[in-house]
Amino acid sequence: MIAFGKTSGVAVAAMSYLAEHRDGPPVTSAEVGRARGYSAAHVAKVLSRLSSAGLVDGARGPRGGYRLARPAGAISLAEVIEPFEGNRQNIVCPFGPNWCGVREPCPLHDQMVTLHENNRRALEKMTLDVFCHEAAV
């Protein structure tokens, strides 16, 4: 159960495209958008934020575009989604806001904490190099 918002999904889609095309020329936000089914404007905003986070390098101009700032194997999915999701520590109690934190933890609290930690660790372990191998197949 790894869930994140739509913009984080766009970020993963864009970064996977950059990883697949890491050996070629820089790619534009329009190219990424066409390939992944998102608007060029949305992809451009996402790539701009990823650039600010130090995950992509961007260049303007006729030969400009984006590329990964580090090797694909050195960028985790946790790093990709963090600029959009933050480091979410809040675990939403399925019993509503008036249970956990107000009374004793709910019956699912320990399991929810475990799921949250497992998701976080999985995202930290997964790197963009999995997309490099997919492109070669």
| pLDDT at residue 137 in the model | 37
Cα–Cα dist 80/128, whole Å: 9
* Cα 108-111-115 angle, rounded to 5 deg: 130
| pLDDT at residue 63 in the model | 82
Q: What is the pLDDT of residues 17-58, one digit of tens each?
A: 999 999 999 999 999 999 999 999 999 999 999 999 999 999
Q: What is the pLDDT of residues 83-104, one digit of tens each?
A: 988 756 567 777 877 777 777 8
| pLDDT at residue 87 in the model | 59
Return the structure tokens found at 1. 């159960």
Would you place residue 2 in the very low, low, confident or very high pLDDT band (cuts 50, 70, 90)? Answer: low
* Cα 27-48-72 angle, rounded to 5 deg: 55
Is the CATH number of domain 6-88+127-136 1.10.10.10? yes
